[in-house]
Chains A and B, each alone.
Chain A
Amino acid sequence: MQENKSPLTISQALKLYTGTGLGGTVLGLAAYEVLFYIGAFVSMTLMIMLGEGISYPEAVRNIAETPAGDCVMVFTPGIINCIVLLSQYTKDKHGGKLFRTVKGGFGTFVRYRTGVYNSELLSMLLFGTAALLLDIAGIAKIHGGLSAVIALVVSNIAAAGIVTFMLPAKNELVLGAGSVITMFAITGSCTILLPMLSDNLIPHLVTGIAGAVLVAVSSNVYFAHYRKNRWDS
């Protein structure tokens, strides 16, 4: 891979492309994810409360007996992460031509995409922390506990890696649907299954390492394809 000669930092590149730097993006993504999670979980709990005529804490306890609440925890950040991953700023999109003329050129695009992965990882860490605090506060219970939260974070890295392999797809409908299904299939199965596999965190560690390798490989493949077929086309 060629050395990146962009004079911009990852945060500057992210700010240039999206209007928000790394810190703001991480906080923004995490806020959306947490609010989406609270909204979805509380809605589900209210439906159970009204349907069965029980109190909120009882309804939360009922949900916590099955992985249903964990599924909500998987879906909410997954959707937001997918939307962010799919932003590619091709020439036909708003801003696409401008970004080809800025300092650093393609190197700045690579920094921006790196910023996307970094912000997704950091926002997932914040989301996981918030999910645990909500669990402790009794607002939203996690069936798999800490193990499920760690599984969610590491599986999101792996899913981001696999979705990156799909980004060269030209059909946006196929790309959109395919990436969301892939994201949910990977994070959903990992978040439910990894806590069942072992009492320790070795499967999580393996998934996290595999995810990091996947992101590194898939992003290099994606950058090479993007440069040849979209940037230089």
Chain B
Amino acid sequence: MENAVEITGLTKKYKDFSLDVTAVIPKGFSTALIGANGAGKTTLIDILCGVTARTSGEAVYFGDKSDTDDDGLRNRIGYCSAANFFPLDWKLKTVAECMAIGFDNFDRARFTELCVKWKIGSPDDKKQKNMMKMSDGNRMRAALAAVLARDTDLLVLDEPASSLDPLARDQLCDMFREYLAEKDGERTILFSTHNIADMEFATDYAVFMAHGHVIEQGFVEELKEKYILVHGDAANGSGAKALMFSYSVNSTAFEGIALSENSANLEAVGAITERPTLQQLSVGILRKAEEDAGK
């Protein structure tokens, strides 16, 4: 398997937070960065896109490039932040003009097409709203249209789904698939999200982060083989708990995830096992990280 990005010992030290990441982003797939608030997702994305400087470590892009200050590499990475991507006084026309100056591979016709498709207007309209007057969702649509109008090899999006409505999230998943399919196997997407259920369709590979570290990563289908969802009556919970990876219980039922190898033993103590969704897997893995951090 070829990797679009290989991250080795990448660190960033702040007064109250440290990031230390080793991970890979496989080429040709869509990778979701999943973690609780403050896990370091945005910091990692910002470092990978040259927005924030690293303290140490290395990230190698496309096999041999590592200098995010190099325009050749910059041109291949399409980046969009979670919020405030464009100045508030900009209109779609300004976005189109400025993106054309800032990036060699910006296609104005494609930007216009995407803006029209998402019903946020057109950079050619006579009357246009500025960003300040747009809703959060439309601002994100404008930012996504701008970044998707560039011919890039790696798309890095920080929380692209958070301000979108369910329908728009569905369209975003389709768009991810279209982006990857346009240059089959050559393009890669990395995005962070809290809307795991909505974005599952667009996720091939998942990197789970907690407290500045990667705690699990792998192809979603492989992770769904590795772990099982476990649930049952609260009365059977104590017997199952010791065999589980993460566990939560209320007055009537218990739930969590466990390694697949424990499936038979769990069923023997009265637990029900199922193939987890990415959402259930994420909750289990992140809960385990919180429990470990609290010890």
On whether the beta carbons of B89 and A19 are closer than 8 Å, the reply is yes
Give chain A nearest CB distance to B168 CB in angstroms. Answer: 21
On whether the beta carbons of B94 and A100 are closer than 8 Å, the reply is no
Instruction: Kindly identify which residue among B50, B53, B84, B88 contacts A96, using a CB–CB cutoff of 8 Å.
Output: B84
What 1/0 mask marks residues of chain B from 66 to 97 whose CB sits below 8 Å from any chain A CB?
A: 00010100110101010011111110001001
In angstroms, Cα B89 to Cα A94, docked, is: 10
Give chain B nearest CB distance to A103 CB in angstroms. Answer: 5
Instruction: Kindly identify which residue among A16, A97, A101 contacts B101, using a CB–CB cutoff of 8 Å.
Output: A16
B197 within 8 A of A: no
On whether the beta carbons of A98 and B50 are closer than 8 Å, the reply is no
On whether the beta carbons of B86 and A94 are closer than 8 Å, the reply is yes
In angstroms, Cα B225 to Cα A120, docked, is: 64
On whether the beta carbons of A19 and B94 are closer than 8 Å, the reply is yes
A104 within 8 A of B: yes
What 1/0 mask marks residues of chain B from 43 to 82 whose CB sits below 8 Å from any chain A CB?
A: 0001001111100000000000000010100110101010
Give chain A nearest CB distance to B92 CB in angstroms. Answer: 12
DSSP majority for the A interface? Answer: loop
What 1/0 mask marks residues of chain A from 198 to 212 whose CB sits below 8 Å from any chain B CB?
A: 000000000000000
Given known pairs A95-B86, A97-B84, A98-B81, the reply for A105 and B98 (CB within 8 Å) is: no
On whether the beta carbons of A101 and B98 are closer than 8 Å, the reply is no
On whether the beta carbons of B52 and A105 are closer than 8 Å, the reply is no
CB neighbours of B51 from chain A (8 A): 91, 97, 100-101
In angstroms, Cα B58 to Cα A42, docked, is: 62
CB neighbours of A103 from chain B (8 A): 71, 74-75, 101-104
Given known pairs A105-B74, A232-B53, the reply for A12 and B87 (CB within 8 Å) is: no
A15 within 8 A of B: yes
On whether the beta carbons of B84 and A8 are closer than 8 Å, the reply is no
Question: Within residues 103 to 123 of chain A, which ones have a CB less than 8 A from any CB in chain B?
Answer: 103-106, 108
On whether the beta carbons of A94 and B98 are closer than 8 Å, the reply is no
In angstroms, Cα B53 to Cα A233, docked, is: 6
A23 within 8 A of B: no
A102 within 8 A of B: yes
In angstroms, Cα B87 to Cα A91, docked, is: 12
In angstroms, Cα B99 to Cα A95, docked, is: 12
On whether the beta carbons of B53 and A101 are closer than 8 Å, the reply is no
Give chain A nearest CB distance to B44 CB in angstroms. Answer: 14
Give chain B nearest CB distance to A153 CB in angstroms. Answer: 28
Complex: chain A residue closest to B49, CB-CB: A101
On whether the beta carbons of B88 and A7 are closer than 8 Å, the reply is no
On whether the beta carbons of B81 and A102 are closer than 8 Å, the reply is no
What 1/0 mask marks residues of chain A from 1 to 18 whose CB sits below 8 Å from any chain B CB?
A: 000000110001001101
A93 within 8 A of B: yes
Give chain A nearest CB distance to B162 CB in angstroms. Answer: 16
What 1/0 mask marks residues of chain A from 174 to 194 whose CB sits below 8 Å from any chain B CB?
A: 000000000000000000000
Complex: chain B residue closest to A96, CB-CB: B84
Complex: chain B residue closest to A98, CB-CB: B85
Given known pairs A15-B97, A16-B101, the reply for A233 and B52 (CB within 8 Å) is: yes
Complex: chain A residue closest to B94, CB-CB: A19
Interface-centre pick from A7, A15, A19, A92 (highest chain B CB count, 10 A): A19
In angstroms, Cα B85 to Cα A123, docked, is: 29
In angstroms, Cα B47 to Cα A232, docked, is: 10
On whether the beta carbons of B98 and A7 are closer than 8 Å, the reply is no
CB neighbours of B74 from chain A (8 A): 101-103, 105
CB neighbours of A104 from chain B (8 A): 71
CB neighbours of A108 from chain B (8 A): 102
Give chain A nearest CB distance to B155 CB in angstroms. Answer: 12
CB neighbours of A232 from chain B (8 A): 53
On whether the beta carbons of A97 and B98 are closer than 8 Å, the reply is no
On whether the beta carbons of B53 and A15 are closer than 8 Å, the reply is no
Complex: chain A residue closest to B46, CB-CB: A97
Given known pairs A7-B71, A105-B50, the reply for A16 and B87 (CB within 8 Å) is: no
Give chain A nearest CB distance to B17 CB in angstroms. Answer: 13
| Residue contacts A-B, CB under 8 angstroms, 6 given | A15-B101, A19-B89, A95-B84, A98-B102, A100-B50, A101-B77
The 4 closest A-B pairs by CB, nearest first: A102-B102, A232-B53, A95-B87, A19-B94
